[in-house]
């Protein structure tokens, strides 16, 4: 049983989350997995956790299944949670522990609350220093020991006694406490079956207690029982214990043997889960007088105690961002997270950090190319599975080297990784693209958000969804559906404009759809053309927007966002 401050540890171990952007694509997922794997190998730790900021699209699912890679942990937010707080791991105690022992633990560990916990880790109640103080001040009748179902072992420990006879694992369930101060004849009127009798070394008093059916006698001042009384006690199952305390002290201390179960709070306990957000629990804690609150796991197991003071030292989640650096594309709560590193290949965005970070941004076609370079620069071997993931990400982001964002470094890296992975890169790419192009079983929402990003230029906030396919007929059939969904996304995402890129991988062109005030004008300005005004009616509802087929436009990052951002600032 813990009684020392050194054993009262705090929840200080924190995972470092490696995550890409919301609505993740293949590069975002594969970069997160591969970089977390690198960090764990290079730093010899297991605290870097690959994560995903949304559902996997069909292409990414194909990649992970092909290389037998597990899905990364799903994150809905990186807001600070209870698990990020250095709360106190106060060990749980059994509910039959004595008041005396509970107080000693509190005193030695400088805590004011102890949790009563089952062997399975389930919280049963809370005992506070205030509860123990009240137990000393209140006046109880002589049957309180049996009323509280006190274990004789507790009495033995509380009185620092020695067992002479009997089973001290038993519980006192009947009888009262009697101090044998009268002569033996008078004692016969006071002692009843199952009583606990506090007495001295007089054999007559000991025999009287035995004859009247006492369950336990406590012999004070270190006296003892004769062999005859011991034998009789053994035959009758009576407990004999000897304490060095005098009768007055023993009588005063015996109530401290009562189990905490009798005084602790069992109902209406306010507890928090590790998954709870600190912002949500702060006000709740402030409205309660309690000083400490239990922390439970998702399965309901007791983990520790948290106080308002703990919240003052709360730190944001530790995060490494890959394949993005803009707050609009990051997970909710990123502004309060402790960002440790950023690895990206996009334009510089609006992210702000609380302290300096390691920031690597290179004008390459894929973030996973940068990850591969990091492996090489640090002499860390790329295993077959990781090579497959990195290669797949480069194929996806560069459209198998067809995208204008692709650099010689990207193609060189992908072909080297293909050799390590042991695949024919061209054949594998067509299989991967085909898997990603299969949109028949998907809802409009799934298609729209499978690769969707939000950008800001001047006062304009706009979103761009990109859908790629090998099938022109399939893309043409999505125009009405996705223009309608883009209209609903304007309000949901708080956008001024929404665009949909329907990109044909084989034709190397894009049908660009747009909704929102002046979105058609923006297309015309950005690409020096006349977009077509369209009205699509679906399920009786008409939506007005704009459409333009733009040859050789396949890259959102390099070919679409720069001109849209430039001219959006002029609107």
Domain locations in the chain? 16-80+317-436, 83-137+262-312, 149-257, 444-568
Which of 449, 440, 450, 515 is CA-nearest to residue 475? 440
Closest CA to 89 of 118, 107, 109: 109
Extended beta strands in 291-410, E state:
292-296, 302-307, 318-322, 338-344, 358-361
pLDDT at position 9 is 54
Q: Residue range 315-328: average pLDDT?
A: 91
pLDDT tens string 27-37: 999 999 999 99
| Mean pLDDT rounded to a whole number for the chain | 91
* Lookup result for tokens 């004789």: 152
Structure tokens at 162: 């020695």
Q: How confident is the model at residue 138 (pLDDT cuts 50, 70, 90)?
A: confident
Q: What is the pLDDT of residue 3?
A: 41
Could you tell me the pLDDT band of residue 83, with boundaries at 50, 70 and 90? Answer: confident
Distance CA 148, CA 323 (A): 62
User: How large is the average pLDDT for residues 361-369?
Assistant: 96
Quickly tell me which residue has 């008078």 as its tokens.
186
Q: Which of 371-385, 407-421, 427-441, 498-512 has the lowest mean pLDDT?
A: 427-441
CATH topology of domain 149-257: 3.40.1390
CA neighbor of 345 nearest in space, from 319, 371, 378: 371
pLDDT tens string 174-231: 999 999 876 767 777 789 999 999 998 888 889 999 999 999 999 999 998 899 999 9
pTM of the model: 0.70
Give 12's pLDDT tier (boundaries 50, 70, 90): low
Q: What are phi and psi of 319, to 5 degrees?
A: -135, 145
> Which has more pLDDT, 123 or 308?
123
Structure-block tokens of residue 275: 């998954």
- Confidence check: pLDDT of 294 > 90: yes
Q: Mark residue 402 as left, alpha or beta (left: phi above 0; alpha: psi -120 to 50; beta: remaining).
A: alpha
Contact 416, 50 (CB under 8 A): no
Give 540's pLDDT tier (boundaries 50, 70, 90): confident
CATH topology of domain 16-80+317-436: inorganic pyrophosphatase (n-terminal core) (3.90.1640)
Phi then psi for residue 226, to 5 deg, are: -70, 160
Instruction: Look up the CATH number of domain 83-137+262-312.
Output: 3.10.580.10
- Identify the pLDDT of residue 2: 44
Class of domain 444-568: alpha beta
- List phi, psi (to 5°) of 372: -60, -40
- Joined tokens for residue 42: 């290079």
Residues 441-497: tens digit of each pLDDT: 789 999 999 899 999 999 999 999 999 988 888 899 999 999 999 999 999 999 999
Q: In 67-197, where does DSSP find H-type helix?
A: 99-109, 129-137, 144-147, 152-158, 184-190
| Separation CA 535–CA 484 (nearest Å) | 10
Confidence band, pLDDT 50/70/90 cuts, at residue 13: low
DSSP 506: T
Task: Please determine, for residue 11, whether its predicted confidence score (pLDDT) is greater than 90.
Answer: no
pLDDT score of 470: 85
């Amino acid at each position: 049983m813990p009684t020392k401050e050194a054993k009262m540890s705090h929840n200080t171990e924190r995972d470092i989350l490696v995550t890409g952007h919301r609505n993740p694509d293949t590069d975002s997922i594969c970069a997160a997995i591969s970089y977390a794997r690198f960090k764990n190998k290079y730093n010899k730790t297991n605290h870097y956790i690959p994560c995903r900021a949304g559902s996997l699209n069909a292409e990414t699912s194909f990649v992970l299944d092909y290389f037998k890679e597990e899905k990364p942990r799903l994150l809905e937010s990186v807001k600070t949670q209870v698990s990020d707080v250095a709360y106190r791991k106060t060990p749980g105690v059994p509910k039959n522990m004595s008041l005396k022992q509970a107080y000693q633990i509190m005193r030695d560990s400088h805590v004011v609350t102890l949790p009563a916990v089952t062997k399975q880790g389930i919280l049963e109640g809370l005992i506070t220093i205030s509860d123990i103080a009240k137990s000393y001040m209140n006046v109880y009748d002589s049957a309180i020991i049996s009323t509280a179902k006190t274990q004789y072992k507790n009495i033995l420990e509380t009185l620092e006694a020695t067992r002479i006879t009997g089973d001290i694992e038993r519980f006192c369930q009947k009888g009262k406490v009697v101090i044998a101060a009268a002569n033996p004849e008078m004692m016969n009127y006071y002692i009843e079956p199952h009583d606990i009798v506090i007495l001295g070394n007089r054999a007559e008093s000991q025999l009287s207690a035995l004859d009247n059916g006492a369950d336990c006698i406590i012999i004070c001042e270190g006296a003892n029982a004769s062999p005859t009384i011991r034998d009789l006690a053994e035959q009758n199952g009576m407990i004999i214990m000897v304490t060095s305390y005098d009768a007055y002290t023993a009588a005063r201390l015996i109530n401290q043997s009562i189990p905490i179960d009798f005084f602790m709070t069992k109902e209406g306990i306010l507890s928090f889960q590790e998954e709870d957000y600190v912002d949500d629990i702060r006000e709740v804690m402030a409205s309660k007088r309690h000083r400490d609150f239990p922390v439970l796991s998702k399965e309901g197991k007791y983990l520790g105690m948290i106080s308002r003071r703990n919240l003052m030292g709360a730190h944001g989640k530790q995060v490494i961002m890959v394949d993005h650096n803009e707050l609009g594309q990051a997970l909710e709560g990123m502004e309060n997270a402790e960002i440790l590193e950023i690895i990206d290949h996009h334009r510089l965005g609006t992210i702000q950090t609380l302290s300096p970070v390691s920031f690597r941004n290179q004008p390459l076609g894929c973030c996973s190319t940068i990850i591969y370079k990091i492996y090489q620069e640090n002499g860390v071997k790329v295993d077959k599975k990781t090579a497959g993931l990195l290669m797949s990400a480069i194929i996806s982001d560069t459209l198998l080297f067809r995208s204008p964002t692709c650099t010689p470094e990207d193609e060189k890296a992908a072909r080297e990784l293909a050799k390590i992975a042991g695949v024919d890169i061209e054949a594998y790419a067509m299989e991967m693209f085909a898997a990603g192009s299969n949109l028949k079983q998907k809802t409009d929402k799934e298609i729209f958000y499978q690769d969707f990003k939000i950008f800001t230029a001047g006062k304009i906030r706009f979103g761009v969804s990109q859908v790629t396919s090998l099938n022109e007929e399939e893309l043409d059939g999505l125009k009405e559906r996705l223009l309608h969904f883009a209209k609903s996304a304007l309000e949901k995402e708080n956008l001024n404009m929404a665009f949909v890129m329907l990109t044909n991988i084989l034709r190397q062109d894009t049908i660009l759809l747009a909704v929102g005030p002046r979105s058609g004008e923006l297309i015309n300005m950005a690409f020096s053309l006349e977009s077509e005004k369209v009205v699509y009616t679906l399920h009786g509802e008409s939506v007005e927007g704009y459409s333009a087929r733009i040859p050789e436009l396949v890259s959102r990052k390099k070919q679409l966002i720069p001109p849209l951002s430039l001219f959006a600032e002029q609107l």
